[in-house]
């Protein structure tokens, strides 16, 4: 199950470096993690995490000072989260490629249990979403973030199990993965967490598409999604605040004090940043705490206001690098499983980044999704970095095959 997927030989930028003894190169190739690492991906993610830390710091500093608290409190927690996340990423990257599939059911079951726990008395509501489990010592876990990883890996496992000579997944396999994905989706719908639902949908569509599922399925799923959305509005499944957000998106000036307020203030913050921004910690919108949830869902507004087009554009481009490397890893994966995992992660990051930044720019409705790597939030940071670790693992697997 290797070359039939058209894996093309790949040249890493590290290898392009001239010189170096072939013996040493061979040794490095076999042993060193560095040699098997996608350095550009790691660099871009690291840059995003560092920028994110600065932005979270800037967003929370005035609010903490106002409350008479340590202004570095959020920054410290954010950095701890990032370090823990890096550890998890390293784990995900170093797990034996072949063993990954074996862990998939475990991750899936744990995620689903977590989501059930959220709905039990253990769960708690933050900002209108019943998505959290509050642990002792002030820790909070958001199982829906890990569900994204579980769905990516789970789908890849099933769809990669191809029967001989088949180019496309069987209908039964497609139904199976849909059934598999529908359990966490249903549980998340009950929270309700519309944003994560949409991300999972994007993952399912992305993985199915790259798994070469018939276009009928993709189109059918899109149609079903629209039908579910319409039905949800009609049956009143959505909370009022969620409907208000969509109304505010359709007509931003309708209710500037209410649902339209966030977007209006976000646009003012970003627009007033201009080309070069007002300087870190110098944003008047940020310092005045005009934008709610600024360190999480609206963290991009800090970049727009304080770092200007240069800084905000850099974040978009760094996310572009992550996606580019992810797509590259997908196309060079040694097997279908690796390719599907990479495609799932790219669909996830791409969709989530677009919806998050798009909402701060007023071109997408407000859906309460964090910006990958940048927003404050432990569970999301862990899940995102684990996903990056998986990409590195797939990448390393591809390099390994060549040996």
Q: Which element (helix H / strand E) includes 205?
A: helix 194-210
Residue closer to other proteins by CB (options 112, 291) is: 291
Residue closer to other proteins by CB (options 196, 285) is: 285
Cβ contacts of 133 within 8 Å, gap of 6 or more: 114, 117, 118, 122, 123, 124, 140, 141, 142, 143
| Cα–Cα distance for residue pair 118/196, rounded to 1 Å | 14
Residue closer to other proteins by CB (options 43, 77) is: 43
Residue closer to other proteins by CB (options 143, 169) is: 169
Which stretch, 52-60, 84-92, 130-138, 209-217, contacts other proteins (CB under 8 A)?
209-217
Give me the sign of the Cα torsion angle 187, 189, 194, 197: positive
What binding mask, one character per residue, do residues 140-169 give for other proteins by CB under 8 A, x or -?
Answer: ---------------------------xx-
Structure tokens at 112: 């689903």
For the segment 312-331, give every residue that binds other proteins (CB under 8 A).
312-313, 316-317, 319-320, 323-324, 327, 330-331
Residue closer to other proteins by CB (options 26, 216) is: 216
Residue closer to other proteins by CB (options 142, 262) is: 262
What binding mask, one character per residue, do residues 62-91 give for other proteins by CB under 8 A, x or -?
Answer: ----x-------------------------
Residue closer to other proteins by CB (options 5, 139) is: 5
Buried b (16+ CB within 10 A) or exposed e, 155-173: bbbbbbebeeeeeebeeeb
Structure tokens at 280: 């870190």
Q: What angle do CA 146, 147, 151 make, to 5 degrees?
A: 125
Residue closer to other proteins by CB (options 14, 323) is: 323
334 near other proteins (CB under 8 A): no
- 100 neighbors 393 (Cβ within 8 angstroms): yes
359 near other proteins (CB under 8 A): no
What binding mask, one character per residue, do residues 3-22 give for other proteins by CB under 8 A, x or -?
Answer: --xx----------------
Question: What torsion do the CA atoms of 14, 20, 26, 27 make, to the nearest 10 degrees?
Answer: -100
Determine phi and psi for 391, rounding to 5 degrees. Answer: -60, -45
For the segment 256-315, give every residue that binds other proteins (CB under 8 A).
265, 267-275, 284-285, 287-291, 304-305, 308-309, 312-313
Tell me the closest approach of the beta carbon of residue 275 to other proteins, in angstroms.
6
Place of tokens 């999301």: 380
Beta bridge partners of 140: 134
Interhelix angle for 39-66 vs 308-332, to 10°? 140
373 near other proteins (CB under 8 A): no
55 near other proteins (CB under 8 A): no
Closest CA to 328 of 61, 49, 47, 44: 44
**Binding-site ranges for other proteins (CB under 8 A):** 5-6, 66, 167-168, 206, 209-212, 265, 267-275, 284-285, 287-291, 304-305, 308-309, 312-313, 316-317, 319-320, 323-324, 327, 330-331, 336, 339, 343, 346-347, 350, 353-354, 357-358, 361-363
């Amino acid at each position: 199950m290797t070359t039939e997927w058209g894996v093309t030989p790949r040249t890493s930028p590290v290898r392009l470096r001239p010189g170096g003894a072939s013996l040493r190169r061979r040794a490095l190739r076999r042993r060193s993690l560095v040699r098997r690492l996608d350095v550009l991906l790691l660099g871009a993610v690291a840059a995003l995490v560092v920028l994110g830390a600065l932005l979270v710091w800037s967003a929370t500093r005035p609010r903490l000072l106002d409350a008479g608290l340590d202004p570095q409190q959020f920054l410290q927690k954010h950095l701890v989260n990032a370090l823990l996340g890096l550890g998890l990423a390293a784990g995900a990257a170093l797990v034996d490629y072949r063993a990954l599939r074996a862990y998939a059911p475990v991750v899936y079951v744990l995620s689903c249990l977590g989501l059930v726990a959220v709905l039990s008395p253990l769960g708690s509501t933050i900002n209108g979403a019943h998505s959290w489990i509050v642990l002792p010592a002030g820790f909070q876990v958001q199982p829906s973030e890990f569900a994204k990883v579980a769905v990516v890996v789970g789908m890849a496992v099933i769809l990669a199990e191809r029967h001989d000579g088949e180019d496309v997944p069987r209908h039964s396999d497609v139904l199976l993965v849909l059934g598999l994905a529908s359990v966490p989706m249903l549980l998340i719908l009950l929270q309700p967490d519309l944003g994560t639902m949409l991300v999972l949908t994007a993952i399912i569509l992305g993985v199915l598409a790259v798994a070469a599922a018939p276009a009928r399925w993709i189109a059918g799923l899109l149609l079903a999604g629209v039908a579910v959305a319409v039905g949800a509005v009609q049956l009143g499944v959505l909370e009022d605040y969620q409907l208000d957000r969509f109304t505010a998106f359709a007509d931003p000036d309708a209710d500037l004090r209410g649902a339209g307020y966030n977007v209006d203030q976000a646009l003012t913050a970003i627009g007033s940043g201009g080309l070069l921004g007002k300087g870190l910690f110098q944003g008047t919108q940020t310092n005045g705490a005009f934008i709610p949830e600024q360190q999480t869902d609206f963290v991009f507004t800090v970049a727009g206001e304080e770092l200007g087009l240069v800084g905000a554009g850099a974040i978009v481009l760094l996310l572009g690098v992550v996606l580019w490397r992810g797509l590259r890893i997908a196309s060079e994966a040694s097997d279908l499983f690796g390719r599907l995992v990479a495609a799932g992660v790219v669909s996830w990051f791409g969709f989530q980044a677009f919806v998050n930044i798009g909402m701060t720019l007023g071109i997408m409705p407000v859906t309460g999704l964090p910006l990958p790597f940048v927003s404050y939030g432990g569970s999301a940071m862990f899940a995102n970095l684990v996903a990056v670790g998986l990409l590195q693992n797939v990448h390393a697997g591809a390099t390994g095959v060549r040996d």
